[in-house]
RNA sequence: GCCCGGGUGGUGGAACUGGUAGACACGCAGGACUUAAAAUCCUGUGGCUUCGCGGCUGUACGGGUUCAAGUCCCGUCCCGGGUACCA
């Protein structure tokens, strides 16, 4: 009986995280602890996470990394007196759900909602302070009604170069009516409706045009880039080719300059800004017309950023898609050219850009005329020239461009050098400085000019002659906004007789109809096109059957959180004025260009149209790194039917690799007991294999990759939380390393954090569950410790250096422990600063300490500056840069005080050993260094 | 290919603006407690060398700048992300 009581008492005193976490979760939910409203009396702060796509694999330990960081920051800001908005939602339209629907026939809405529920319960386990009453799902018609509304705003707007902003399309029509030139060169009111539409279409921010897609004839569908591997479909390995299709686009290029300028006003990592700048790719150059030999009426217009190199041109290159390519090809070459163009259709843009070591191309047999020298220049077609950039044609300068150089070498074309004092016989001279030479004709001479002056002279000359002009170009293209898919927002557009009509706000949302099959229609159209009673409208009208891409909903979601239940507006002006920009946005660097550029553009459009009063959505952005999962491989020989342990001395170069699902791998990274047998039961292709071991173990090669369902290396946070608790999980994720760095997941290290919280618990709570710290006066040392920790933690949170925060909590507690500190005055401060990291245990301590209110309603403790400074500093003293000893000096000591003491120090005397001292370096508060011979 | 990151003990990582490399943890080794194990606590722990004091060496690799380099500069290698329809 006694025994039982003792055991019971012991159990009472243990840190029972599951009980504590359950209790406070329920308590906070009942008291709507995290609901926020627009409190004008407090300064606001908006902390946002990039919302997840709810995949079928569930949340893995990589997702919460950023969420935990932002949660800590949100809770910290709250302690600092801010009214903090911290919402969460789901990016719920997407390809995987549709693919799953094709395979299983289950409606994507159903699977998506199941996945969302799973994600939500997983997120709720981790103790985030999200205001769930503001949750959004992009696939919810109540949400996508407004995504469609945004589309209509883009559709019904144009970019005015006069006012340099987006304006309603009516102002454009008014200008046309007043006589603004149109491309039909007829008065506006004499144009047909179709002509008017075509003309306006050239201005709309959302417009229809043609572009290439990945078409797979065998699957009868359009494929996403990542569904294409080496020119073949990932599923089935069928041939994929590029096909021209009519699609919706967003005219983001009109915002290129403002997207560049806006970067100066936001706090993003410099590297990320650089990526965006490169993506936008602003370049200054010229368009120059080249006459074609034997063809009177046509010209080839090239874009070049290096007009200064015009005398270095020795050939011309057209993109395979260039409209004139076939026309100029001479009959003897037409078969060869047609074959080459067909080959290019099977090549992805990525392949075309990257595989330039062995550059391909074909001669058309045609020649251009050099505008200044009248020299004949052969015209080639090559895939390294892309149709979407510039004019789709280049003047090739092998002496100044490495791709042109490679091409010239391969096709035996002359390399003309025009740079003074350079040798271009082996590689191109690509520096942006130098003097031009060998560049003279009857018309112009560039000899002796530097590159910039030569550029200007050439541009002036071509402009004077009317054969070209100065031109600013962007690498960025207008954003493709159509998908031939079911699971996306339908366009609020319908047609009749080739004319487009837009729905109005009252008609929204245009909801997705039920379909019987999610399979592609085989003709490249979306599955929606097969539903006749949805497509066909009364009066002979037909709906648009494409849907919007995944980034549509995510381009504006940060605004919907501000007013999520508003049914008459996407967000009231009052709310968007109060919450304003996102103050801190945390998410993966993989969205560096796509999502971030689109949402920045949409924000600017809404700003231009007066719906919001800021033109950058995200004030500060932090990119979290990826948490990789472990994958284990073994090598095998198919013919010999042998598999080899990694610790055998084998030559892996001719062997095949096999990834083993992680459940077969033991903690020692070998096959589990009987693992080989059960492995072969699943992967029967290895049934008759010999598994060759070394030292009686079969070990694997390890690598770190993305966690994915397919590799079966997903680590589920639920399991970790069940075993260690949410507080430990949160702290451990932060303890792993700097937030923005990629890192591998390894559960082994979690014991350190777990032990820390257990030690803290048993230090503060006795066997009977009573709170130990008392009213005793803290000692000087403990006051130093806690004040320094408060300072360090708040400095580090502001920098989002959360891994060092965890270390400092440990260091602080280790110090308090060795000081035998029992003062509740100290510990209460400690619990407050700990609460953003480990909210449950902090609240439990707070409660045990007899406090009635919540630890989250406290104020962040003040720092008493007097405890931060030391009177003395332990100077490292080095001789010739190598530290030899430490000597303590007063912090105000100057070199004159210090020098004699240092020189008479025994250790230092030994190292100086009578040699003369050339220099005595004293850096106050840092170091002393003696330079001797 | 191009653009952007990263590379520090057996492992995750720390190191302010160039100023004691390896904080804080994990793991491992030894010890205490226990009949035993687990848990917990204590000690040690980059490598080489030395009985020890100590010495040498060391931040992917090769150079450079500096009194002083993980940190700055030049070159190389490897790994990750993006490359426009994965999200």
Q: CA(A82)–C1'(B23) in Å?
A: 33
CA of A476 to C1' of B5 (A): 22
Name the nucleotide with the smallest C1'–CA separation from A813. B24
Which stretches of chain A score pLDDT less than 70?
1-12, 653, 673
Across all strands, nucleotide nearest A752 (CA–C1'): B25
Tokens of A380: 């080639």
CA closest to C1' of B81 belongs to: A590
State residue A339's pLDDT score.
95
- Name the nucleotide nearest A588; use CA and C1': B81
Q: Residue A463, CB half-sphere, CA atoms under 13 Å: how many?
A: 12
* Neighbouring C-alpha atoms within 13 Å toward the C-beta of A618: 31
Measuring from the CA of residue A907 to each C1' atom, give the nucleotide at the shortest distance: B54
Q: Which bases of chain B are contacted by protein, using any atom under 7 A from a CB?
A: 1-6, 11-16, 19-21, 23-27, 39-41, 55-56, 67-69, 80-87
Nucleotide B22 C1' to residue A755 CA (A): 22
Q: Is the ipTM of this complex over 0.85?
A: yes
Q: Tens of pLDDT along A603-628? A: 999 999 999 999 999 999 999 998 98
Q: Is the peptide bond before A873 cis (omega within 30 degrees of 0)?
A: no
A561 Cβ neighbours under 8 A, 6+ residues apart: A48, A85, A87, A89, A134, A136
User: What's the CA A463/C1' B64 distance, rounded, in angstroms?
Assistant: 48
Q: Residue A749: which nucleotide is closest by CA–C1'?
A: B26
CA of A804 to C1' of B68 (A): 27
What's the CA–C1' distance between A268 and B29, in Å?
Answer: 47
- Specify the nucleotide whose C1' lies closest to residue A253 (CA): B84
Q: How far is the CA of A103 from the C1' of B16 (A)?
A: 56
Nucleotide nearest to A389 (CA to C1'): B84
Cis peptide before A237 (omega within 30 of 0): no
Distance CA A504, CA A518 (A): 28
Q: Provide, in whole angstroms, the distance separating residue A760's CA from nucleotide B41's C1'.
A: 15
Contact A808, A789 (CB under 8 A): yes
Nearest nucleotide by C1' position to the A810 CA atom: B24
Strand partners for A289: A301
**Closest nucleotide to A355's CA, by C1' atom?**
B1
Per-residue pLDDT at A577: 96
Q: Of A743, A596, A576, which Cα lies nearest the Cα of A268? A: A596
Tell me what pLDDT residue A306 has: 94
Cβ–Cβ under 8 Å, residues A715 and A60? yes
**Half-sphere exposure (Cβ direction) of A15: Cα atoms closer than 13 Å:** 22
Residue A6: predicted pLDDT: 39
Q: Which residues contact A39 (CB under 8 A, 6 or more apart)?
A: A83
Question: What's the rounded Cα separation, in Å, for the pair A545 and A526?
Answer: 6
Three-state SS at A658: strand
Lookup: nucleotide whose C1' is closest to A930 CA: B67
- In this complex, the residue with its CA at the shortest distance from the C1' of nucleotide B20 is A876
Instruction: Tell me what pLDDT residue A713 has.
Output: 84
A350/B1 CA-to-C1' distance in Å: 9
Neighbouring CB atoms inside 10 A of A846's CB total 22
Give the CA A518 to C1' B7 distance in Å: 46
**CA at A550, C1' at B86: how many angstroms apart?**
10
Cα distances from A529 to residues A222, A490, A512, A641, A817, in angstroms, run: 14, 11, 12, 51, 71
Nucleotide nearest A882, from its CA to each C1': B68
Distance from residue A230 (CA) to nucleotide B78 (C1'), in Å?
24
**Pairwise CA distance, residues A800 & A740, whole Å:** 9
Tell me the nt nearest to A873, Cα to C1'.
Answer: B20
In the structure, how far is the CA atom of residue A382 from the C1' atom of nucleotide B1, in angstroms? Answer: 16
Looking up tokens 């005397």, which residue turns up? Answer: A909
Distance, Å, A588 CA → B65 C1':
37
Backbone angles phi, psi at A554, to 5 degrees: -85, -5
Beta strands at A468-474 and A44-49: parallel, antiparallel or unpaired: unpaired
DSSP letter at A309 equals G
Nearest residue to B87 via alpha carbon and C1': A53
Q: Please answer whether residues A276 and A618 qualify as being in contact, where contact means their C-beta atoms are separated by less than 8 angstroms.
A: no
The answer to whether A888 and A876 are in contact (CB under 8 A) is: no
Question: Integer distance in angstroms from CA A298 to C1' B51?
Answer: 93
A116: number of Cβ within 10 Å = 18
User: Straight-line distance from CA A384 to C1' B33, in Å?
Assistant: 74
Count of Cβ atoms closer than 10 Å to residue A444 Cβ: 20
In Å, what is the separation between the CA of A876 and the C1' of B21? Answer: 14
The CA–CA distances, whole Å, from A335 to A5, A293, A343 equal: 94, 21, 12
Distance A35 CA to B43 C1' (A): 51
Nearest nt to the A222 alpha carbon by C1'? B85
Measured CA A881 to C1' B71 distance, in angstroms = 16
Closest-lying nucleotide for A807 based on CA to C1':
B24
């Amino acid at each position: 009986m006694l025994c039982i009581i003792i055991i019971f008492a012991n159990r009472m005193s243990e840190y029972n995280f599951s009980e504590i976490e359950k209790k406070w979760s329920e308590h906070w939910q009942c008291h709507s602890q995290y609901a926020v409203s627009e409190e004008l009396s407090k300064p606001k702060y908006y902390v946002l996470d990039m919302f997840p796509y709810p995949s079928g694999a569930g949340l893995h330990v990589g997702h919460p990394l950023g969420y935990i960081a932002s949660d800590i920051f949100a809770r910290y800001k709250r302690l600092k007196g801010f009214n903090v908005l911290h919402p969460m939602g789901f990016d719920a339209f997407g390809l995987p759900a549709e693919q799953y629907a094709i395979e299983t026939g289950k409606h994507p809405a159903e699977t998506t909602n199941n996945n969302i529920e799973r994600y939500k319960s997983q997120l709720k386990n981790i103790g985030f302070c999200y205001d769930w009453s503001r949750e959004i799902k992009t696939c919810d018609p109540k949400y996508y009604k407004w995504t469609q509304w945004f589309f209509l705003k883009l559709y019904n707007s144009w970019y005015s170069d006069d006012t340099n902003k987006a304006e309603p399309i009516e102002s454009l029509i008014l200008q046309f009516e007043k006589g603004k030139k149109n491309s039909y060169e007829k008065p506006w009111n004499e144009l047909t409706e179709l002509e008017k539409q075509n003309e306006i279409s050239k201005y709309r921010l959302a417009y229809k045009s043609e572009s290439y897609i990945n078409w797979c004839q065998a699957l009868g569908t359009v494929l996403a880039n990542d569904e294409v591997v080496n020119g073949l479909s990932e599923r089935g390995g069928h041939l994929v080719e590029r096909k021209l299709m009519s699609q919706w686009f967003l005219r983001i290029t009109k915002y290129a300059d403002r997207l560049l300028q806006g970067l100066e006003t936001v706090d993003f990592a410099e590297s990320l800004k650089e990526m965006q700048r490169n993506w936008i790719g602003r370049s200054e150059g010229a368009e120059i017309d080249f006459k074609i030999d034997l063809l009177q009426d046509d010209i080839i217009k090239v874009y070049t950023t290096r007009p200064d190199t015009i005398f270095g041109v020795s050939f011309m290159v057209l993109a395979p898609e260039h409209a004139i390519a076939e026309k100029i090809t001479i009959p003897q070459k037409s078969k060869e050219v047609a074959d080459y163009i067909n080959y290019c259709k099977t090549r992805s843009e990525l392949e075309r850009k990257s595989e330039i070591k062995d550059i391909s191309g074909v001669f058309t047999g045609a020649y251009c005329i050099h505008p200044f020298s009248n020299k004949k220049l052969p015209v080639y077609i090559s895939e390294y020239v892309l149709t979407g950039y510039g004019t789709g044609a280049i003047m090739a300068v092998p002496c100044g461009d490495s791709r042109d150089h490679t091409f010239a070498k391969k096709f035996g074309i002359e390399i003309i050098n025009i740079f003074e004092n350079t040798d271009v016989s082996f590689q191109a001279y690509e520096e942006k400085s130098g003097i031009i030479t060998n560049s003279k004709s009857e018309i112009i001479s560039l000899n002796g000019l530097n590159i910039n002056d030569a550029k200007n002279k050439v541009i002036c000359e071509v402009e004077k002659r009317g054969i070209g002009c100065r031109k600013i170009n962007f690498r960025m293209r207008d954003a493709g906004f159509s998908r031939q898919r079911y699971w996306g927002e339908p366009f609020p557009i319908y047609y009749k007789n080739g004319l487009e009509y837009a729905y109005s706000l009252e008609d929204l949302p245009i909801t997705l109809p039920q379909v019987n099959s999610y399979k592609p229609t085989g003709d490249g159209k979306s599955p929606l096109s097969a539903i006749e009673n949805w497509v066909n409208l009364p009066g002979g009208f037909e709906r648009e059957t494409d849907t919007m891409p995944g980034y549509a909903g995510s381009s504006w979601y940060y605004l919907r959180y501000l007013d999520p239940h508003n049914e008459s507006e996407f967000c009231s002006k009052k709310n968007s004025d109060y919450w304003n920009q996102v103050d801190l946005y945390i998410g993966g660097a993989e969205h560096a260009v796509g999502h971030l550029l689109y949402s920045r553009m949409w924000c600017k459009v809404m700003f231009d149209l007066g719906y919001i009063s800021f033109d950058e959505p995200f004030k500060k952005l932090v990119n979290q790194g990826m948490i990789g999962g472990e994958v284990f491989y073994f090598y095998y020989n198919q013919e010999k039917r042998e598999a080899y342990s990694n610790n055998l001395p084998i030559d892996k170069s001719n062997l095949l690799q096999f990834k083993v699902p992680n459940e077969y791998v033991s903690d020692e990274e070998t096959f589990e007991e009987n693992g080989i047998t059960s492995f072969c039961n699943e992967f029967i292709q290895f049934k008759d294999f010999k598994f060759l071991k070394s030292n009686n173990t079969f070990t694997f090669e390890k690598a770190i990759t993305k966690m994915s369902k397919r590799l079966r290396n997903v680590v589920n946070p639920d399991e970790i939380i069940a075993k260690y608790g949410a507080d430990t999980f949160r702290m451990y994720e932060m303890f792993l390393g700097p937030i923005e760095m990629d890192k591998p997941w390894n559960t082994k290290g979690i014991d350190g954090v777990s032990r820390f919280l257990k030690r803290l618990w048993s230090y503060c709570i006795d066997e009977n569950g009573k709170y130990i710290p008392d009213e005793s006066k803290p000692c000087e040392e403990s006051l130093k410790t806690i004040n320094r920790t408060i300072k360090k933690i708040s400095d580090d949170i502001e920098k989002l250096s959360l891994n060092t925060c965890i270390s400092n909590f440990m260091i602080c507690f280790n110090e308090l422990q060795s000081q035998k500190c029992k003062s509740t005055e100290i510990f209460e401060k400690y619990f407050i600063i700990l609460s953003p990291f480990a909210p449950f245990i902090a609240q439990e301590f707070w409660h045990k300490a007899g406090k009635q209110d919540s630890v989250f309603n406290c104020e962040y403790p003040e720092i008493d500056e007097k405890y931060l400074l030391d009177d003395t500093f332990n100077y490292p003293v080095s001789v010739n840069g190598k530290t030899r000893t430490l000597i303590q000096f007063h912090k105000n000591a100057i070199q004159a005080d210090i020098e004699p003491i240092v020189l008479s120090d025994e250790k230092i005397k030994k190292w100086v050993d009578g040699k003369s001292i050339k220099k005595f370096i004293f850096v106050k508060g840092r170091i002393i260094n003696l330079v001797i011979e």
